[in-house]
């Protein structure tokens, strides 16, 4: 199965994402440069990787979200292509409007880098089905702007529609209602600040992240 990772200047988890995708698909993903203008038609799943695209200038993810590739990404996501963003990738997805809300500076003002316990709050989604029977997972977090914000109406809707897929256990950044990961209404676009792609090998300290990739790939 063909998958892809979008690469921006100063992405730094693009290779981690590529390794994770290869582990579950058996095939090297395409690395698509942000100045390209289209995602090949046979790509079935796209990852927006973590990093510090454009040095976090203006706002984290703001400049990347206006890159040439994004127009096609938004169009394809609108027709159902699964797209997942981790860390900076989540920030980029909120900046494109594919996911609601925004990521503010961490409440404690410090960069947070640690193993983070998450509660899996919905196992019915395309990104979490493999976690059936697992209440909690541990993924690394490493971010400065991970404080999820949305107005109360949006937060209520996310909760009512089962679109909060992960919550922090011990909130590291001040995120509203402990929200760690959300999906869009159609369930094909997902974003989270933690890094499942950095938890796919025993040498990473754990393999809890694999389930996220196997869930979405098996849904295709």
For another protein, give the closer residue by CB, 15 or 107: 107
197 is catalytic: yes
Can you tell me the distance from the alpha carbon of 47 to that of 29, in angstroms, rounded to the nearest whole number?
A: 10
CB of 68 to another protein, least distance (A): 14
Choose, by CB under 8 A, the member of 15, 22, 44, 59 that binds another protein: 59
Between residue 162 and residue 191, which ones bind another protein under the rule CB under 8 A? 174
Write the CB contacts of 160 (distance below 8 Å, at least 6 apart in sequence). Answer: none
Catalytic residue among 34, 143, 195, 204: 195
Residue 178's CB is within 10 A of a number of other CB atoms, namely: 19
87 is catalytic: yes
Name the one range near another protein by CB under 8 A: 82-90, 114-122, 129-137, 144-152: 144-152
Between residue 87 and residue 116, which ones bind another protein under the rule CB under 8 A? 94-95, 100-102, 104-109
Q: Per rule CB under 8 A, is residue 74 in the interface with another protein?
A: no
113 is catalytic: no
Choose, by CB under 8 A, the member of 28, 42, 58, 205 that binds another protein: 58
Binding-site ranges for another protein (CB under 8 A): 58-59, 62, 66, 94-95, 100-102, 104-109, 147, 149-150, 174
Active site residues: 87, 195, 197
């Amino acid at each position: 199965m063909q998958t892809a990772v979008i690469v921006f200047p100063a992405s730094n988890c693009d290779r981690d994402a590529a390794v994770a995708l290869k582990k579950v698909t058996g095939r090297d993903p395409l690395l698509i440069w942000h100045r390209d203008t289209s995602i090949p038609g046979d790509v079935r799943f796209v990852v927006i990787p973590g990093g510090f695209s454009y040095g976090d200038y203006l706002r984290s993810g703001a400049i990347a979200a206006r890159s040439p590739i994004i127009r096609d990404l938004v169009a394809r996501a609108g027709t159902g292509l699964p797209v997942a963003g981790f860390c900076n990738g989540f920030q980029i997805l909120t900046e494109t409007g594919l996911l609601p809300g925004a990521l503010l500076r961490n409440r404690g003002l410090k960069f947070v880098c640690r193993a983070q316990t998450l509660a899996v709050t919905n196992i019915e989604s395309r990104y979490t089905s493999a976690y059936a029977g697992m209440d909690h997972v541990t993924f690394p977090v490493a971010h400065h702007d991970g404080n999820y914000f949305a107005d109360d109406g949006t937060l209520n809707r996310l909760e009512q529609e089962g679109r909060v897929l992960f919550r922090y256990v011990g909130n590291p950044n001040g995120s509203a209602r402990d929200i760690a990961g959300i999906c869009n209404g159609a369930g094909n676009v997902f974003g989270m600040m933690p890094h499942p792609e950095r938890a796919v090998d025993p040498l990473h300290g754990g393999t809890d992240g694999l389930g996220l990739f196997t869930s979405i790939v098996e849904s295709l």
